[in-house]
């Protein structure tokens, strides 16, 4: 018995919604924690981000082929990248925004 093509379709709408939610939660979480750590010491924030990504990357890499978990992996990747870009932008604009 062969499966129909429609049974194998990718749920793009639901998957992208899950990925978007995971991206927002991960991104906001990383930015908030990093800003708190930057107040203690900037290298602490950089170090913690590097250790966290280095520790999670192998696990997420193995999940990318699993039907449901791949959407979480996409969201986590987009969230981390967006958070890092936000933090770099805030660091670059920080002195200009404070008038210094």
Tell me how far apart the alpha carbons of residues 61 and 71 are, in angstroms, rounded to a whole number.
12
Cβ atoms 14, 68 nearer than 8 A: no
**Would you list the domain boundaries of the chain?**
27-88
The radius of gyration of the chain's CA atoms, rounded to the nearest angstrom, is 18
Closest alpha carbon to 81 in 29, 23, 32: 23
The residue behind tokens 């925004």 is: 97
pLDDT tens series, the chain, 100 aa: 455 555 568 899 999 999 999 999 999 999 999 999 999 999 999 999 999 999 999 999 999 999 889 999 999 999 999 999 999 999 888 766 655 5
């Amino acid at each position: 018995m062969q499966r129909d093509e429609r049974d194998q379709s990718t749920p793009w709408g639901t998957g992208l919604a899950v990925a978007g939610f995971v991206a927002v939660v991960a991104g906001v979480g990383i930015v908030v924690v990093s800003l708190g750590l930057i107040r203690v010491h900037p290298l602490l924030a950089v170090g913690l981000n590097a250790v966290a990504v280095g520790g999670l990357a192998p696990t997420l890499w193995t999940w990318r082929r699993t039907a449901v978990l791949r959407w979480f992996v996409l969201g986590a990747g987009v969230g981390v990248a967006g958070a890092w870009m936000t933090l770099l932008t805030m660091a670059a604009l920080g002195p200009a925004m404070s008038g210094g």
